[in-house]
Each structure stands twice: as C-alpha cells, then as structure tokens.
Amino acid sequence: MPLRLRTMEMLLGLGSNDIRFIGIVGMSGIGKTTLAEVIYAHSFKSLISDLGKRCFLHSRGRSIVSLQQQLLDQLASSKMIDIQILDENHGVRLIKQHLRFLKKVLIVLDGISETSQLEMLAGSPDWFGERSRIIITTTNKDIFRHPNFKDKVQEYNVELLSHEAAFSLFCKLAFGDYPPSEDMKDLCNEIIEKVGRLPLALEKIASSLYGHDMDIWEDTLKNFHKVVYDNIFSDILKSSYEGLEAESQQIFLDLACFLNGEKVDRVIEILQGFGYSSPQTNLQLLVDRCLIDILDGHIQMHILILCMGKEIVRRKLGTRQQTRIWLRDDARRLFHENNELKYICGIVMDLEEEEELVLKAKAFAGMSELKILRINNVQLSEDIEFLSNKLTLLNWPGYPSKYLPSTFQPPSLIELHLPGSNVERLWNGTQKFKNLKEIDASDSKYLVETPNFSEARNLRRLILRNCGRLKEVHSSINSLHRLILFDMEGCVSFKSFSFVITCESLKTLVLSNCGLEFFPEFGFPMGYLTELHIDGTSINELSPSIKNLFGLVLLNLGNCIRLSSLPTEIGSLSSLKTLILNGCKNLHKLPPSLESVKPLEELDIGGTSISTIPLVENLRILNCERLKSIIWHSLASLPTEYFSSLKDLNLSDCNLVDEDIPSDLELFSSLEILDLGSNHFERLSKSIEQLINLKVLYLNDCHKLKQVPKLPQSIRYVGGEKSLSMLTTSQGSPACTMSPSSSNAPLLTNNDNFQNTKEVDIIKDMGKRTDHKLILSHKTSLVGMENQVEKVCNLLDLERSKDTLFVGIFGSSGIGKTTIAEVVYNTIVDQFQSGCFLYLSSKQNSLVPLQHQMLSHLLSKETKIWDEDHGAQLIKHHMSNRKVLIVLDGVDERNQIEKLVGSPNWFAPGSRVIITARNRDVLHQLDYRDQVQEYKVELLSRESAYSLFCKNAFGDGPSDKNDLCSEIVEKVGRLPLALRTIGSYLHNKELEVWIETLKRLDEVEQNFFDTISQRTQKKTTPTLGQI
C-alpha cells in the first residue's frame, strides 16, 4: 500500500491550486475502494482537513438522486438543512449552485460505471473551486472519454499485489496471528497463484478457510473454478460481466474459453468469422471495463476472470445448453447423450492431452452452430459425413477420414489444420473457401494431390510438409494472389511442377528434401519471393527463369549432389545476400556473373569441387570447408578489394599442409574469425600475425600441429576440443614447439603468447583433481557479487505484474553470469507459478530435449514433442496462461531463444525470462531487442577477488599464506570461476604445491582465464570441471 499511496499523493498534488480529477482504474476486487478509503480517511489527514468540505459516495446499487442527495447533505453547512431533490436534473442544478460557494472540496465517487453518473454528480471541472480534488474509482475507463473529462482526468491503474504482499494478506486472514506450517505455506502459495493476487478474492477465500483443516484447503484447490464462482463472482465480478450487452458477453465468453493469449489481429479475424458485427469495438469495450488486457498485441485475461468466464459456461451444462466445450469429460458426456448438440458453438481441446476420445461421427450432424473445432486423439467408427458450415477454425491433428464431407463449404473458414490426417484429397472439384487463409496438412501420408484452389483466393499459407505420397500440385495455385508461404519439405514423391509458377505475392518457397528432379520454371518477375529452399533435391541444373526472382535474398541449394553448374542468369539476382551450395559435390565452378551480385554477403561452397572463386566485393562470410588444399592460395590470388569486407573464413578439413598456407596474409587482415580445424599442417605461418583484426581462431583436431607463432594482439579465443592446455613463451621469444599428443590438446589463449604444456600440467589437471566436495554453494561463492544480484533483481522489477520482462546477462566466460542467474532464480522463483533453469550446451544438435525438459518441468507432466517447431508451438500455447520464471543459461545462438522462449508475448503477464550469454550480439539480433533489459557483469574488485579465493582455498579457517594468495590472485585475475577453481584445488595442499602452482602461473596473463571454459559458436570446449 505505501507505494500506491505515494503515487496517489503525487497525482493529488494537494499543494497546488488547480482543480484535479483522478481516476483510480482497475478490475473488480483489485483494491480501488480500499485505496480511496485510506486516502480519504487516514493517510493525509492534515492535508484533507485543509481542503475544507469532503464527501465519500459509494455508488453501487444506488440511484443518482440518492447520491446527489448525500453529496449535498455532506457538503452543506449546518445552517442549510432539508434540501430536497426532485429529479436528477434538479440535483445537478443544486450541486452546481452550492459548489459555487465552496473554494475547495474533496469528493470520492466510488464504483462509477456509467458516464451519466459522473455527469450528474461532478459534471465538469468548471463546477469546482480551486484546490478541489475529485477521485473516481471505476472498472470502466471509457467514462473518461466524455468531452467534459477527456484529457482532464489523471488515471491511476491499480496493479495486483506483489506475491509477498498477497501472501501476507492471505495468511493474516487465514491463520490470524499464527504463522502457517510449511505444508500450509505450499497450499497458500498455490491458492494465491490461482487467485492471481487479487486482494478482495484473497480476503474472501482466506476468510472462508479460517479454522479449517488441510482437507478443506485441498478440496478448495480441487474445485477452484466452483469456489471462484460461488465466493467471488457474485460479489466482485458479476456486475462487470452483467453490465455488458449480449454480443459483448458472448465475445467475452469466446475469449475466456478459446482465444485467451492469441494475437489481437487474429482474434478480430476469428470473431468476424463467428459473425459478430463489431469485434474491434467490443474488444476495446472489454479493455475499458478491465475484463481483458492487451499486452504486446495479445489478449490477456486475469486468471480469475478466465475462471469466471469458463464457469459461467459450465453452469449451463446441467441445463443441456452448454455452448462451449474444452474439457474431454464434458465432450464425452455430450457426445454420448447426443442431446442438445445444436447449442454447441465451439470445441477446443488441449492438443497435448493424450487421452483418446471415442466418438460417433453422426454426432457432428447435430452441431449446426459449431464455429470452432480443435480436437485430437479421436477414434471414429465411420467416416464423417457432416461438419458445420459455420466453422471458422478447424484444427484436427490426425483427422481420421479420407475426405472432408462433400457438403462442407463453410464461407467463414479461416484456418484448416489437418496435420497427420488420413485425407487422400482435401476436397473434390472446386469448393468456395473465400476466407480461407491457411492450410496445414503436413504429415498426411495418404495425400496424393492438392485440390483446385481457384475459389480459395485469400489463401496465404499452404503447408504440406512430409506428405510422402503427394505427387501433384494443381496449377490453380497460381490463382492464389495472396499466397506468401508454400512449404513442401520432405514430399519425397513429388518430382516436378507441371506448370510455370506465377504466384505474384509468394515470399517463401520450401522444397527441401523432396523428390524434385527439375528446377521450377518462374513465369514472370516475382519481386516478393525472398527465400527459395531447394536443398537436398535431385535437380541437376537451374532454369534460366531464375532471373525473374530479382527479390530473392536467400537461395539454398545445399546437398543437391546432381547439380553440376549454375546458369549465367544467377547474376541477375540483384537482392541476393546468402547463397548456400554446401554439399553440391559435382559443382566445379561458379559463373563469373556472380560478381554482379553486389549485395551477396554469405557464400557457402563447402563440400563442393570448386577451386576458384569469382570476385565478390561485399562478401562477409565465406565457407570453404572440405575443399581442395589449393583453395587458400586460390583466394590469395584475388585482388585486394575482394577481402575488404570478409569477416569470417572457414577452411576446415581442406587437407591443408604447411605449404598450403600463404606466406603473406595481409590481404586477409579484415578477418575476425578463421577456422583451420581438421587440417594437417605442423606449423602455422608467421604471417598469421598479419591478421590484425582476428578475434577467433579454430584449430580443432589439428593433430599434427607442433608449432604456433606469435598471434595478433586482437585474438580472444583459440579453439580446440579434447582437453585444455596452454602453449606460452616468454614475451618476445620465438615460437615454441610441443610433441604430438594423443589428447589432441587444444590451444586456448586470450593473449599473444603460448606456454609449453609440459610446464603447466598442474593446470590441466586442476579440475579433475579438485575435491568437488569443497566447491562452495553459490550463496558462499557470491562473495563480492551481492550488488550485481541486486541490480539484476531491479531490472526484473517484479512490481510490474502486468508486464512480461526479458533480462539479458552478458559477459566473458567465468565472470559469474551463471552464478548470478542461479542466485536470482532461487531468490524469486517462489513468486511464480513455476520455474525452470535450463543449462544450454552447444553440443546439442537439437533443442527438442530442452523443450521437453522445460514443458515437463513447468507443467509437471510428460509432453510429446515431434520437432523444434512443434515444441515452440507447445511452449507458446501452454505458457500463455502461466506466470513463469525461466532461465536460459549459456545462449550463443538466436535460434535457441526463438525456439525456447520465443518472445514476451508467449507468456502470461508477470512472467520473467533471464538469458545469459557471452556475446550481447545474440540479444541484439532479436526482433524485440528494445524490450530486453541488459546487464553486463563486472569483474570482482581486488578485495572481493581475494576474499573469494581465500574462501575456497581455506574454507572458514584462517589464511596462513597471505602473500602467496595475493600473488596468485594477481596472476589469475578477478574472474570468479578461475578463482574458485584454483582456490578449491589448493585447499589443504602443502606449501610446495602452492609454490609450484604460482610458478606455473607466472607467465599466464590475467585474461587467460577468460577462455578456460569458453564455449564457442561452432566448437565445444570442456569446462574446468570436465578436465
């Protein structure tokens, strides 16, 4: 409450002479009246008394005349008695007359729901004298749009209680002055999350549970929807719902049962399909009445309002007039009884539920009003002969029949999703689907051909992935002038298009890994097509008609093993930025016309037979992996301007020996990343020092490497895979050598020197020789980082309960990102419905296991995921109504974020997502980067570094090696991971070991430990604990 009071004090501005109207806005039960009463009666007594006359009007259930009468009675002086109001207009005149004689008043109008109430009680600021304050509490902010009040009312939107305040309030009312037991605390937290921290609801439920044992509490949780309706709806939320017009009520119920969490634009489209006349206006009305929020372009309902809506619908089940179904038990009952099915307008099941439904196909014949159907795991004894022609959405994974019913021609159908179905053909002949925008029949193993699309002219997305028997695409696809996506990936029986493609709005065409033998013909300039994926097909050439794709940005021809040449016309692709040819092993050369493609930034020719490359001036990324060994000399023969933009060069697995490395590398001085892994040279040329901008050098699996010269000052990482070691010489000495090792020790550095690994075996062995029982807990190892944890908590700002926030923690490896994230997570996770901490590894080829781990942990049940895209859809679906805390630790690719946490609009209000990353660029690549709060982890102070090292080296005991500690801390630097690792290794060691360790570290510069556990974007290096 103090924060609310401070905010209101600021809005009231009681020291100023102006006239102020303050609107306290929020959903029913959120504490508007309580806040107004505290302000009026207690908080600012001296200031209120200075205002002169005051009046508090509770408007609920009262006539305007009675409110006017009370207002006049309380504002009148003692001499003025027996003021009688004849009607509302008479009351307005009397109030205006009387207010003219009062310089300052404080009036609270509580529970105002209609503009007329405000007009008749405080019609305009002109009515009042200077320094007057009028406070209005309402669930309907639309009243402030009246011309008399527009832009004249300062609104204060009351937020939900914090979890701590909600817990305190609930326990006070449920247990009195006695603290709850640990078991009861868990139940309290569950109820608080279900109630959604709404003060009045907390009060009513807590009071009803006072003095009852745990069985009653558990029963309350089990029957929560009923408890909400019985204890809260009638007193708190009923007036908000019942004050709506009939159409607004129906839209509210549709949102609660089917559409919560969906994008606003899609919701409007669906509601229009349902037949509502003005869905956009009604949505704004529901926002104004505080029944829904729109956050990041998505519909969001408070959990209690959601429960209320669903319970209103379920209450009609007993009357056989339930209109909306989302529970399988209700569906089973209604289908079994086969009565009153004509009232059903929507069936939406949780597609993750694996319980099978056995239904009668004939039951659908009675559902003539059905507008939305999302159902799965259905067993039918016969084909479906009828589906409602009022359907707007049909989503039926595993649809069991061979065809859609012949009578099925719904004019309002927007989406047709039948993944994994048994359909052989979507429909026969020409069907009028004038509003259909999306078809997904992926994994329909019996689908052999597409239908005639000529009467589905609004279709925008056509997804037919992995339809193994699909052989023919109907030419009417060219009539789809709004089609932007056509995906046939994995359609192995499809060989070619029998017509020229002329889809004028097509943006993405995906034919990856299908049976395609002939490159499609493109009939006329198609400027909208930006992505063309034909990788993994059997094409042997490209059609000259490719010149018509002048808007193409990405062309993926990877693993087209029969492709032997590229046409000259490829030089006409004036927008091309990325060309992927990886794995086209029979491709021997690139056409000179490629030089004309000025925007080309990324060229992947790995695994081809190409030996020379045309001049491409603006190339930034060049992948030459698995090419012939002459490739580097071939590149070095090109003009200087070729390399001015080149940042990333991959020459791994090219059979390079010492002679294949050019002696002059100055041409490549713009390089920042160079991959020379899996080659056979024994020495790196001294010319490597000419790469003055080089930051990352990969030498993975270079088994014959014996000598490394001085590296550029810019280097930040030198990668290897199988172990950690160091090669360092003293400053200015010649390059040292090492004997070939079976361990294939990688070369890691953050500086320009290396040290002989034989001299530092102690460091290699530190991780595995450390007594892991001595690794301290994160609370202990947080020494010197408490302030940083507090800063991250401030960025998470848990008080902003209506917002979903993403926070990125970045910094070099070992600096403490994970430690901070873990401490923050453990500190605040209790304030969320559930939480999940994911440790990412670049070794993972697929994100499906992480998606499975996340969903299983957050939902407390096993979840089946088919692929990463499916997993992302499931996370988005399930998280839209859950307030969660998620940590992604060790992110190094944008795709990891997109497939695991998507964007803020995936999550319910109040959710928080923490992302730790070495490179902040991965955060900047996000479309919503402006919404991500960033925190850069700082190095420890010298004092904190010393304290942390000693804590790990001596535990709680005294230090008897202060001088040695100071020297080691100075050599190691201030990275927490290095300090903890070396400190733990030296715990209980003899003085000789300390001296030997210091000797081995003597030539190691401070930044070395930045790379000890560094994970790279392409290769994986073990952490200290794995060595």
Residue 10 has pLDDT above 50, yes or no: yes
Residue 351 has pLDDT above 70, yes or no: no
Residue 777 has pLDDT above 50, yes or no: no
Q: State the Cα–Cα distance between residues 433 and 453, nearest whole angstrom.
A: 9
Per cent of the chain over pLDDT 70 is: 85
3-class secondary-structure state, position 554: strand
- Please write the tens of the pLDDT for every residue from 960-1013: 677 778 777 777 667 777 777 788 878 888 888 887 777 777 644 333 333 323
Report CA-CA distances (Å) from 234 to 30, 62, 137, 257, 727. 15, 17, 19, 20, 76
- 293-295 vs 298-300, strand pairing mode: antiparallel
Other CB atoms within 10 A of residue 286 CB: 22
- Please write the tens of the pLDDT for every residue from 132-190: 889 999 988 888 888 888 888 888 888 888 778 888 888 888 888 788 887 788 888 88
Neighbouring residues of 773: CB distance < 8 A, sequence distance ≥ 6: none
Please report the pLDDT score of residue 783 as a whole number. 61
3-class secondary-structure state, position 273: helix
Phi, psi for residue 127 in degrees, rounded to 5: -70, -25
Closest by CA to 594, choosing from 608, 614, 575, is 614
Burial of 452 (0-12, 13-18, 19+ CB in 10 A): middle
Please report the pLDDT score of residue 1020 as a whole number. 34
Model confidence band, residue 1017 (pLDDT cutoffs 50, 70, 90): very low
3-class secondary-structure state, position 265: helix
DSSP string, 165-233: HHHHHHHHHHHTTSPPPHHHHHHHHHHHHHHTS-HHHHHHHHHHHTT--HHHHHHHHHTHHHHHIIIII
Q: Which of 510-514, 831-835, 925-929 has the lowest mean pLDDT?
A: 925-929
Alpha carbon distance, N-terminus to C-terminus of the chain = 53
Kindly report the pTM of this predicted structure: 0.66
Most confident range, picked from 8-12, 240-244, 419-423, 780-784: 419-423
Please report the pLDDT score of residue 747 as a whole number. 32
3-class secondary-structure state, position 793: helix
Please report the pLDDT score of residue 755 as a whole number. 32
Q: Which of 109-118, 255-264, 735-744, 962-971 has the lowest mean pLDDT?
A: 735-744
DSSP run (H or E) holding 696: strand 696-698
- Please write the tens of the pLDDT for every residue from 612-632: 888 888 899 999 999 999 888
Please report the pLDDT score of residue 759 as a whole number. 27
What's the mean pLDDT in 69-83?
Answer: 73
Residue 771 has pLDDT above 50, yes or no: no
What's the mean pLDDT in 638-665?
Answer: 88
Burial of 42 (0-12, 13-18, 19+ CB in 10 A): exposed
Residue 431 has pLDDT above 60, yes or no: yes
Percent helix, strand and coil across the chain, each rounded to 5? 35, 15, 50
Length of the chain: 1027
Instruction: Give the residue, 441 or 236, on which the prediction is more confident.
Output: 441
What's the mean pLDDT in 191-201?
Answer: 80
